């Protein structure tokens, strides 16, 4: 299937052949009939992508700061890879479309194949022939629905949420500042609700458009003489009950102007992207105005449980969610309470989408809504997309399932260039990432189905998906006879671990987990100088805060930070002392969110060694992340953030310092591949992988049961 993409680095925009999207749980796959270009949101994205690197940096100071922070902590190599990954990626465009359902995923009951639907969501409702969308970002339409109008779905819901934030009553007056698509839609909906509407824009064309199509009772350009007096006259000398700002600008004029024209104790709703540093006097303070933000489509937006898991809010307690806003907008279209005909000033065939965006960026002629029309008669297949010629008869034939930021920065660049190693296929959730990864790292194809990377062409499977799918893919890979590399954690439950152990022992295929720190040259030095045997170890991890609503903190998806990351540090202590965890005890700092990510973990090892993992989420961001101390037989090693090692013993201290942080990712990948080539074995013993994983589960048990010790 084809999709419109753009590279952030070069600004190049192309329609390219990408893999058919996967039908995930709680998802529907839709064949697009129409999608709508948002001149504001998408136009600014495209314009920024076409700027120079300096221009991009000026527009994104926060991202520049992140780059500088990464440079300080990880060094230039990892920073360069992270930046280039962003700049070279194929970014999807679009977030509002309509079409018909081709497939429904597991657990979907409200849609069936053939339903007409309208879809929303950046990264989902793309400008593409086929899209996969979560159920709560998709609404069913009547069989005779006008799909071009329905494709305004996202924009309509955004406008409606702004109006809901205004909480207006029949007969009140609203001023809408900014008469682009969002502003025009807001005027329509307000007018249909019995509200007196006044429109304002800096340009005359949208003002005349609103007046001509009768979506306002009055409208003025911002520079109209006596504009405040005119609005005062229309509102009987009181001012507007609510002002909805649908503009996008860096100017403070909209927010200050809103204060001037609102009535006393009125409301100002920020629907667009404007600064809110208003002047306190004479209007905002003296009128005691209320400022409210409208969050995109409405309640549920940015909520992982709602958008990705499909868990709805109770109707009685949250009357209007983002999906219900979309449904209400579609009812307005269906009942002809609003008429969108005039909004679509241009319609392009999907093949001409780059020309449509040239119009948006260059503004060679007046426009309002721009619709992309798709060839719905075109046959769509699920075949893998060939990217490069496959290398035949290699001893190690690698495919990837999942290839996000970590894989692109630390795994893929380190696969050896060798006649003994071939790169077969890439399968990811999004066709844009799988295509780019296949191109950049010279894989034979980008896949659309699991079977494409589980067949006989592949004998070694790298799994770098989100945590909740690791166990599933490990089991599928083992059943298919593959050598397995899986990013940590290997699974999220003890039941999954037991199943993996049983199957691995049966098929005798190596399973490698991404415990990279044990492969760091710094750790190799410590091992060489300390050997094995009883020792004491302290590992302080300044992990930093991750919000509760991040997928990593979700126990069903990410497993939480103990399972998801602390396993790394338990493994490193296991490797250093040379024996397996025997018992674990853990104490967590009381946390109102119950995240258990500020915790002291005490470990007793089989050879008598003891270790402490001090995993803290409540520290300063300025403090380096990792600090390790090892004590044994009169010797002490201190490793600071994998950049500096000092070993104290007899004589002069040993010192080793590196400009680049080295956590062993390169050495880990090479060790895995070399192990397969040499004897078909994983460089990490199975007993270590399974014992460390079980120890992380026991940490959570100890926290839950009052810091009781648990045998591993």
- How far apart, in whole angstroms, are the C-alpha atoms of residue 73 and residue 89? 24
**Coil, helix or strand at residue 490:** coil
Q: Is 32 left (phi over 0), alpha (psi -120 to 50) or beta?
A: beta
Measured in whole angstroms, the distance separating CA 161 from the mean position of its chain's CA atoms is 23
Which residues are 16's β-sheet partners? 3
Q: Tell me: the pLDDT tens digits for 484-526?
A: 999 999 999 999 999 999 999 999 999 999 999 999 999 999 9
Residue 6 is predicted with a pLDDT of 87
Q: Tell me: the pLDDT tens digits for 572-622?
A: 999 999 999 999 999 999 988 889 899 999 999 999 999 999 999 999 999
Yes or no: is domain 516-711 CATH 1.10.10.10?
no
Q: Is 196 left (phi over 0), alpha (psi -120 to 50) or beta?
A: beta
State the pLDDT confidence band at 455, using cuts at 50, 70 and 90: very high
Structure tokens at 646: 């000092």
Asked if the peptide bond before residue 423 counts as cis, ω within 30 degrees of 0, the response is: no
Measured in whole angstroms, the distance separating CA 53 from the mean position of its chain's CA atoms is 23
Overall average pLDDT of the 11-35 stretch = 92
Which residue in the block uniquely carries the two structure tokens 């201190």? 638
- How far apart, in whole angstroms, are the C-alpha atoms of residue 613 and residue 587? 11
The DSSP element (H or E) to which 307 belongs, if any, is helix 304-307
- Where, residue-wise, is CATH 3.40.50.720 in the chain? 161-293, 385-465
- Pairing mode of beta strands 138-140, 116-120: antiparallel
Structure tokens at 558: 């990410």
φ/ψ of 167, rounded to 5, equals 50, 60
Please enumerate, as own/partner, the contacts of 256-263 that have beta carbons within 8 Å and a separation of 24 or more. 256/283, 257/177, 257/200, 257/222, 258/175, 258/177, 259/283, 259/284, 259/287, 259/289, 260/228, 261/175, 261/228, 261/231, 261/232, 262/175, 262/287, 262/289, 263/235, 263/238, 263/239, 263/287
Torsion angle of C-alpha atoms 38, 41, 47, 51, degrees rounded to 10 = -160
Overall average pLDDT of the 99-105 stretch = 97
Q: Is the pLDDT score of 59 beyond 80?
A: no
pLDDT: which is higher, 401 or 360 = 401
φ/ψ of 693, rounded to 5, equals -60, -45
- How far apart, in whole angstroms, are the C-alpha atoms of residue 450 and residue 269? 47
Overall average pLDDT of the 419-429 stretch = 94
Q: Which CATH number fits domain 161-293: 3.40.50.720, 3.40.190.10, 3.20.20.140, 3.40.50.150?
A: 3.40.50.720
φ/ψ of 333, rounded to 5, equals -65, -45
12-16, 534-538, 545-549, 674-678: lowest mean pLDDT where? 12-16
Q: Tell me: the pLDDT tens digits for 647-669?
A: 999 889 999 999 889 999 999 99
**Coil, helix or strand at residue 558:** coil
Q: Is 288 left (phi over 0), alpha (psi -120 to 50) or beta?
A: left
- How far apart, in whole angstroms, are the C-alpha atoms of residue 696 and residue 693? 5
- Where, residue-wise, is CATH 3.90.180.10 in the chain? 2-152+340-373
555-583: b or e for each residue (b if 16 or more CB lie within 10 Å)?
Answer: eebbbbbbbbbbbbbbbbbbbbbbbbbbb
- How far apart, in whole angstroms, are the C-alpha atoms of residue 187 and residue 197? 6
* Contact yes or no for 147/98 (Cβ under 8 A): yes
Q: Is the pLDDT score of 301 beyond 80?
A: yes
Q: Which CATH code fits 2-152+340-373?
A: 3.90.180.10
- How far apart, in whole angstroms, are the C-alpha atoms of residue 398 and residue 512? 14
Which residues are 267's β-sheet partners? 242, 290
The DSSP element (H or E) to which 192 belongs, if any, is helix 181-192
Structure tokens at 34: 């129409």
Q: Tell me: the pLDDT tens digits for 138-181?
A: 999 999 999 999 999 999 999 999 999 999 999 999 999 999 99
Residue 659 is predicted with a pLDDT of 87
Which residue in the block uniquely carries the two structure tokens 């102007």? 257
Which residues are 604's β-sheet partners? 583, 610
- Percent pLDDT > 90 in the chain is 83
Q: Is the pLDDT score of 134 beyond 70?
A: yes
- How far apart, in whole angstroms, are the C-alpha atoms of residue 576 and residue 612? 13
Q: Which CATH number fits domain 385-465: 3.20.20.140, 3.40.50.720, 3.40.50.300, 3.30.70.100?
A: 3.40.50.720
How far is the CA of 56 from the CAs of 5, 60, 66, 520, in angstroms? 18, 6, 14, 35
Residue 614 is predicted with a pLDDT of 98
Q: Which residues contact 183 (CB under 8 A, 6 or more apart)?
A: 159, 176, 177, 199, 201, 206, 210, 244, 246, 247
Q: Is the pLDDT score of 82 beyond 90?
A: no
Structure tokens at 555: 């126990």
Give the residue among 297, 245, 249 at the shortest CA–CA distance from 266: 245
pLDDT mean across residues, the chain? 93
- How far apart, in whole angstroms, are the C-alpha atoms of residue 84 and residue 65? 16
Residue 57 is predicted with a pLDDT of 60
């Amino acid at each position: 299937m084809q999709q419109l993409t753009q590279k952030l680095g070069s600004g190049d925009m192309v329609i390219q052949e990408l893999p058919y999207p996967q039908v995930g749980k709680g998802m529907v796959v839709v064949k697009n009939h129409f999608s709508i270009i948002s001149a504001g949101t998408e136009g600014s994205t495209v314009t920024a992508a076409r700027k120079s690197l300096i221009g991009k940096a000026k527009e994104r100071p926060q991202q520049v700061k992140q780059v500088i922070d990464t440079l300080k902590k990880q060094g230039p190599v990892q920073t360069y890879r992270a930046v280039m990954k962003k700049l070279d990626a194929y970014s999807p465009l679009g977030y509002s479309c309509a079409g018909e359902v081709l497939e429904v995923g597991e657990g979907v009951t409200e849609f069936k194949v053939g339903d007409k639907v309208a879809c929303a969501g950046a990264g989902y409702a793309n400008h593409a022939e086929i899209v996969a969308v979560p159920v709560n970002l998709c609404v069913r339409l009547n069989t005779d629905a006008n799909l071009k109008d329905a494709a305004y779905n996202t924009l309509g819901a955004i406008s409606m949420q702004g109006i809901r934030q205004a909480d207006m009553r029949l007969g009140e007056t609203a001023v809408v500042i900014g008469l682009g698509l969002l502003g025009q839609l807001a005027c329509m909906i307000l007018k249909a609700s019995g509200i007196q509407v006044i429109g304002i824009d800096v340009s005359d064309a949208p003002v005349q458009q609103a007046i001509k199509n009768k979506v306002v009772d009055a409208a003025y350009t911002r520079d109209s003489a006596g504009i405040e007096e005119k609005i005062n006259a229309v509102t009987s000398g009181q001012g507007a009950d609510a002002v909805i700002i649908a503009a996008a600008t860096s100017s403070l004029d909209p927010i200050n102007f809103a204060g001037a024209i609102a009535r006393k104790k009125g409301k100002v709703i920020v629907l667009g992207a404007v600064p809110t540093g208003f002047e306190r006097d004479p209007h905002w303070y003296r009128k005691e105005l209320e400022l409210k933000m409208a969050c995109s489509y409405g309640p549920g937006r940015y909520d992982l449980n709602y958008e990705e898991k499909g868990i709805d809010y109770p109707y009685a307690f949250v009357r209007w969610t983002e999906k219900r806003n979309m449904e209400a907008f579609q009812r307005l279209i269906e009942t002809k309470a609003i008429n969108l005909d005039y909004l679509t000033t241009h319609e392009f065939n999907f093949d001409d989408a780059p020309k449509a965006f040239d119009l948006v960026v260059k503004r060679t002629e007046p426009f309002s809504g721009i619709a992309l029309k798709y060839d719905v008669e075109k046959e769509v297949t699920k075949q893998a997309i060939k990217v490069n010629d496959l290398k035949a008869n290699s001893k190690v034939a690698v495919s990837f399932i999942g290839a996000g930021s970590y894989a692109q920065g630390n795994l893929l660049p380190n696969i050896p260039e060798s006649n003994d190693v071939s790169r077969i296929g890439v399968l990811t959730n999004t066709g844009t990432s799988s295509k780019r990864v296949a191109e950049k790292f010279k894989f034979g194809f980008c896949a659309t189905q699991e079977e494409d990377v589980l067949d006989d062409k592949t004998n070694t499977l790298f799994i770098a998906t989100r945590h909740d799918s690791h166990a599933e893919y490990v089991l599928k890979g083992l059943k298919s006879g593959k050598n397995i590399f899986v990013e940590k954690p290997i699974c999220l439950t003890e039941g999954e671990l037991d199943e993996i152990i049983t199957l691995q022992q049966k098929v005798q295929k190596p399973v490698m987990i991404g415990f990279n720190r044990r492969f760091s040259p710094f750790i190799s030095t410590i091992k060489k100088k300390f050997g094995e045997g009883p020792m004491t170890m302290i590992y302080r991890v300044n992990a930093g805060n991750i919000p509760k609503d991040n997928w990593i903190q979700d126990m069903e998806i990410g497993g939480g930070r103990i399972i998801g990351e602390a396993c790394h540090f338990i493994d490193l202590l296991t490797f250093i002392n040379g024996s397996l965890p025997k018992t674990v005890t853990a104490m967590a700092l009381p946390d109102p969110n119950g995240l258990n990510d500020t915790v002291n973990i005490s470990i007793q090892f089989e050879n008598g060694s003891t270790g402490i993992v001090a995993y803290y989420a409540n520290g300063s961001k300025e403090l380096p992340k990792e600090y390790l101390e090892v004590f044994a037989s009169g010797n002490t090693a201190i490793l600071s953030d994998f950049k500096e090692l000092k070993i104290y013993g007899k004589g002069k201290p040993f010192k080793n310092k590196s400009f680049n942080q080295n956590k062993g990712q390169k050495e880990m990948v090479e060790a895995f591949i070399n192990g397969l080539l040499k004897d078909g074995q994983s460089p990490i013993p199975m007993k270590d992988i399974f014992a460390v994983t079980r120890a992380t589960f026991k940490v959570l048990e100890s926290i839950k049961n009052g810091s009781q010790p648990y045998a591993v």
